[in-house]
Structure 1
Amino acid sequence: MRSLTLHLKVLVILLVSLGILITAYQIFILGIPMTEDETDDLWNIDAKVEFQASPREPVKLQMFVPPLAQDYVSLNESFISNNYGVSINRADGNRKVTWSARRASGKQTLYYRLVLTKRYSGEQTKAKGPIFRDSIPVEGAEKIAAEALLAPIRQHSADVETFISETIKRVNNVNDDNVKLLLGGDASTPNKAKVIELLLSIAHVPMERVHTIRLAADIQQNPELWLRSFNGENWLYFNPESGEQGLPVDRLVWWTGDDSLVTLEGGKQAQVSFSLNNSEMNAIRLAKLTDENTDADFLEYTLYGLPLQTQQTFMIMVMIPIGVLVILILRNLGGLQTLGTFTPVLIALAFRKMQLGYGIVFFTIITALGLSLRSYLEHLKLQMLPRLSVVLTFVVVLIAAISLFSHKLGLERGLSVALFPMVILTMTIERLTITWEERGGGHAFKV
């Protein structure tokens, strides 16, 4: 007996631990939302490219598009053009789209459209980057000015992160004579980035230019320049104007490097304008969509690999054993009296769509009228099967009548009364009647 009890305890602990581990993995590793009420942003980004094509010349236009390597995943990507060939290439961590045409004339308009959201999969690729670079050649007065700036920077820094921050702050002090010399009268952000790169290269600290788009709806914007450096483990992002460290969460990396966003052959006056808008989508549906765009192949062998409609069916089915567990706890530990084990669970499932308040009202109405009919049938001395058939037919007609009147009165919740399990309601009415006759009305109301 003792070994049987120990065996049961070990089995319970193993099953409970397994359930907790699976749930924790989905929530904290895969990032799957816990409730269907959660929503997440869905971003629609349009990049409109306009240029003037040269007559009698082939046109080739190249534009960087987001690599979407880490934090975001693409749900849909479109390249909209008229009579242009389209190809996509990857190089140095960037993605570039190429539109080409043999002949084009006049004003041309091309569109790049991207729908994206944050990545749900917890699997992140390990960051890689250079940790050393050669110095940029510099001579004469520029070399003296650079060394003069680097001396206090080394004194006030302790690691790569603080070294870069201190460098950016020094370069943005435009009143410093050494800074003025290196800037050459051009205090623009791109030129400051060049000076910062020069100083960092002398210290053999690698640096890359990062061009980002802000995820904000209904505002005109241009790519914003940031700087980044690899510290051996992660990429460190810096604002070249303030030295602020850390890329804001609303920034999307569009491309890295020194090249321009657009390069054009066979045309002129190329301009790119961005427009963004966002919408919300059910987070569970969004998690499914993002999983379809990730490399987590094992998810195809879970319920998430099933069609969405089938998943919704299983969402209801898995509620049944959970409801039975709750009923068992309430009956065995709380002493609560119920009308069987499965009947309360199936009725509660109908409350999911109707909500608790409306569900109790409609359930009470149907049960009360059903009990009245059952009491009347008792006087007719019908056998059990004919009696159940009459009650079932009455329940169906009653549900249809309630749905009809609810629709006419504009009560949309009343339409959900059709979700009540008709057979279960019929058996509930029959068992309540028997309970009433055997133990009285008070006990029937308790169960």
Structure 2
Amino acid sequence: MRSLTLHLKVLVILLVSLGILITAYQIFILGIPMTEDETDDLWNIDAKVEFLASPREPVKLQMFVPPLAQDFVSLNESFISNNYGVSINRADGNRKVTWSARRANGKQTLYYRLVLTKRYSGEQAKAKGPIFRDSIPVEGAEKIAAEALLAPIRQHSADVETFISETIKRVNNRNDDNVKLLLGGDASTSKKAKVIELLLSIAHVPMQRVHTIRLAADIQQSPELWLRSFNGENWLYFSPETGEQGLPADRLVWWTGDDELVSLEGGKQAQVSFSLDNSEMNAIRLAKLTDENTDADFLEYTLYGLPLQTQQTFMIMVMIPIGVLVILILRNLGGLQTLGTFTPVLIALAFREMQLGYGIVFFTIITALGLSLRSYLEHLKLQMLPRLSVVLTFVVVLIAAISLFSHKLGLERGLSVALFPMVILTMTIERLSITWEERGGGHAFKVAIGTLFAATLAHLLMSVQELNYFIFTFPAVLMIMVGFMLAMGRYRGYRLTELFRFKAFLKD
């Protein structure tokens, strides 16, 4: 007996733990939204390219576009132009679009439009990058200044991360004569990045320029320069102005490297302006779109991977255990008497076809009339199968009559009573009739009221949209419920109704 109790406890703990772990994985690792009303950001980015085309010359304009390799995924990408050919190529981790035309004249305008969102799947590709680079040649005074700066940097750093941070801090100290010499009077971000790269190269630390766009609507902006270095496992991002580490979440990497955003042949005065617009979309719908536009099918192995019609069926099915749990609690802990365990759940499912009030009224009418017929058939001494057949047929006729009567009165809701499960009603009538014969009308009435109350409570809980979404999206919750049901299976204590029944003993 003790080993059986231990076995049950281990099984309960295992099921509950597994259910919690799987659900937590879906929420915190895969990032699946917990509520149906949750929304996520959707960004619309327009890059407008303007230039003057040289007459009688072929035009070729190249522009970097986001690689979208890590944190973001593209939902739609379009290249808008008039009489231009468009091609895209990849090189060194970048993507570049090429617009080309045989002839163009005057002012030209091209558009690149991108709709993107945060990548849902937490599975990221393993980062790769260089961990060593050759030194940039430097001579004379610049070499002496660089070595003078590197000496305290080495002394105050412990690894690549702190070395880079200390280097950026030193280069931004404009009071340092060595820094002034290396900057040569140019304190622009680009010049600072060159000096930082020079110092890092002498220490054989690789560094790349990263050009980003801030995801913020209704502001004028141009690409913002960041620096990054690979430490053997991950890319480390740094601001060349402040030394701030870590790329902010609202930055989109547009391209990496030393090249300019746009290169133009057959024209001049190329300019790019950015405009961003932010909107919101239902999170789970956005997750499905993300799934369709990436190779990471993280929703494919959930119930959302099923055909739409099958999903609608499962949305009802996954709520049945909730109804069963309600009945289990009402019977085992509350002591409520019902017609069996699952009949109230089936009646609760029938209530889904109409409003609860109509369902209770129709259920009461059909059951009462069915009991009257069943009482009459009892006098004819029929066998069970013919008796049930007659009751079932009577239920069908009664449903048809009520539907017709409701239609004539303009109560269209009554038409859905035809979808009531006829077998459920027939068996309910049969079981109530047997209870009446065996234990009397009072007990049968009490059981009928208990069944109706349990079915109503189960229906109300099964109709909660937020709960329906949560269990359908995270079906591992059902394992937690099974663990709770198993734990309740060994309950041998008093029920709530029994406490009232035996209240007199407490007084004594």
Q: TM-score, normalised by structure 1?
A: 0.78
Q: What displacement does 1:232 show?
A: 0.7
Query: Residue 428 of structure 2: SS of its match in structure 1?
Result: helix
**1:32 equivalent in alignment to 2:14:** no
Aligned length: 447
Report the Cα distance in structure 1 between the residues aligned to 2:406 and 2:175, rounded to whole angstroms. Answer: 76
Q: For residue 298 of structure 1, give the secondary structure of its aligned residue in structure 2.
A: coil
Specify whether residues 139 and 286 from structure 1 end up closer, same or farther in structure 2 by C-alpha distance, changes over 3 A only. Answer: same
Offset of residue 404 of structure 1: 16
Farther-moved stretch of structure 1 (15-24 vs 305-314): 15-24
Mapped partners of 2:413, 2:216: distance in 1: 37
Partner SS, residue 74 of structure 1: strand
Deviation at 1:91, TM superposition (A): 0.7
* Alpha-carbon shift at residue 93 of structure 1 (Å): 0.7
Paired residue for 2:191?
Answer: 191
Q: Equivalences for 1:36-435 in 2 at 5 Å?
A: 36-296=36-296, 300=300, 303-308=303-308, 310-338=310-338, 340-342=340-342, 344-345=344-345
Q: Note the alpha carbon deviations across 1:35-66, whole angstroms, 9 max, x for none.
A: 32322112221212122222221111111111
Change in 2 beyond 3 A, CA 1:203/1:422: farther
Give CA-to-partner distance per residue, 1:355-384, whole Å, 9 cap, x none.
Answer: 999999999999999999999999999999
Residue 94 (structure 1) shift:
0.7
Q: Deviations over 1:159-218 (max 9, x none)?
A: 111111111111111121111111111111111111111111111111111111111122
**Cα deviation, residue 229, structure 1:** 0.5
Most deviating of 141-150 and 339-348: 339-348
Structure showing greater Rg: 2
CA gap of 1:226–1:11, structure 2 versus 1, over 3 A, is same
TM-score normalized with structure 2 length:
0.69
Residue 107 of structure 1 and its aligned partner are, at CA, apart by: 2.0
Deviation, structure 1 residue 311: 3.0
Q: Is the 8 A contact 1:50 1:109 kept in 2?
A: yes
* Distance change in 2, residues 1:13/1:265 (3 Å): same
Change (3 A) 1:196 1:20: same
Q: How far, CA to CA, are the matches of 2:408 and 2:238 in structure 1? A: 62
Percent identical: 96
Task: Classify 1:60/1:385 alpha carbon distance in 2 versus 1 (closer, same or farther; 3 Å).
Answer: farther
1:297 is paired with a residue of what secondary structure?
Answer: coil
CA distance in 2, matches of 1:394, 1:105: 85
Task: Pick closer, same or farther for the CA change 1:143–1:318 going to 2, 3 Å.
Answer: same
Q: Give the secondary-structure state (helix, strand or coil) at the position aligned to 2:276.
A: strand
For residues 149 and 69 of structure 1, do their structure 2 counterparts lie closer, same or farther at Cα, with a shift above 3 Å needed?
same
C-alpha separation between the residues in 2 aligned to 1:91 and 1:266? 23
In structure 2, C-alpha distance between the alignment counterparts of 1:47 and 1:401, rounded to whole Å: 66
Q: CA deviation at 1:245?
A: 0.6
Closer/same/farther in 2, CA of residues 430 and 159 from structure 1, 3 Å limit: same
Shift of 1:261: 1.0
Quick check: 176-185 or 410-419, which moved more?
410-419
User: Which residues of structure 1 form unaligned runs of 5+?
Assistant: none
Further displaced range: 34-43 or 225-234: 34-43
Q: What SS does the corresponding residue of 1:6 show, helix, strand or coil? A: helix
Return the offset for 1:234.
Answer: 0.6
Distance 1:23 1:167, change over 3 A: same
Q: Give the RMSD, CA atoms, in angstroms.
A: 5.5
Distance in 1 (alpha carbons) for counterparts of 2:413 and 2:141: 80
The answer on whether the counterparts of 1:132 and 1:206 sit within 8 Å (CA) in structure 2 is yes
User: Is the 2:353–2:420 contact (alpha carbons within 8 Å) kept by the matching residues of 1?
Assistant: no
Shift of the 92–415 alpha-carbon distance from structure 1 to 2, 3 Å rule, reads farther
Cα deviation 1:369-410 (Å, max 9, x = unaligned)? 999999999999999999999999999999999999999999
> Which stretches in structure 2 are left out of the alignment for 5+ residues?
446-506
> 1 CA distance for matches of 2:51 and 2:407?
56
Question: 1:28 offset after TM fit, Å?
Answer: 3.9
User: Is the Cα–Cα contact under 8 Å of residues 208 and 229 in structure 1 kept in the other structure?
Assistant: yes
The alpha carbon displacement at 1:239 in A equals: 0.8
CA separation of 1:424 and 1:247: change in aligned 2, threshold 3 A: farther
Aligned counterparts of 1:209 and 1:410: Cα–Cα separation in 2: 72
Structure 1 residues 137-146 or 52-61, which shifts more?
A: 52-61
Tell me the distance in 1 between the aligned counterparts of 2:205 and 2:412. 65
CA deviation vs aligned residue, 1:203-253 (integer Å, no higher than 9, x gap): 111111111111112222111111111111111101111101111111111
Larger displacement relative to structure 2 (247-256 or 2-11): 2-11
Task: Summarize the Cα distance change of 1:338–1:224 in structure 2 as closer, same or farther, 3 Å threshold.
Answer: farther
Report how far residue 76 of structure 1 moved.
1.5
- With 312-321 and 205-214 compared, the bigger mean Cα shift is at 312-321
**Aligned partner of residue 219 in structure 1, secondary structure:** coil
Q: CA deviation at 1:332?
A: 3.4
Q: How much has 1:323 moved relative to structure 2? A: 3.3
- Cα distance in 2, alignment partners of residues 230 and 352 from structure 1: 58
The more displaced of 215-224 and 30-39 is 30-39
CA distance in 2, matches of 1:396, 1:376: 18
The question of whether the paired residues in 1 share the 8 Å contact of 2:353 and 2:417 is answered with no
The 3 A distance-change label for structure 1 pair 168 and 14 is closer
* Offset of residue 345 of structure 1: 4.0
Given that residues 121 and 294 in structure 1 are in contact (C-alpha distance below 8 angstroms), is that contact kept between their aligned partners in structure 2? no
Which shows bigger deviation, 185-194 or 336-345? 336-345
CA distance in 1: counterparts of 2:412 and 2:74, whole angstroms: 37
More off after superposition, 135-144 vs 18-27: 18-27
CA distance in 1, matches of 2:79, 2:31: 30
Counterparts of 1:31 and 1:341, CA distance in 2: 37
Instruction: Give yes or no for contact 2:291–2:297 (8 Å, CA) kept in 1.
Output: no
C-alpha distance in structure 2 between counterparts of 1:409 and 1:270, whole Å? 74
Q: More relative contact order in 1 or in 2 (CA 8 Å, sep 6+)? A: 2
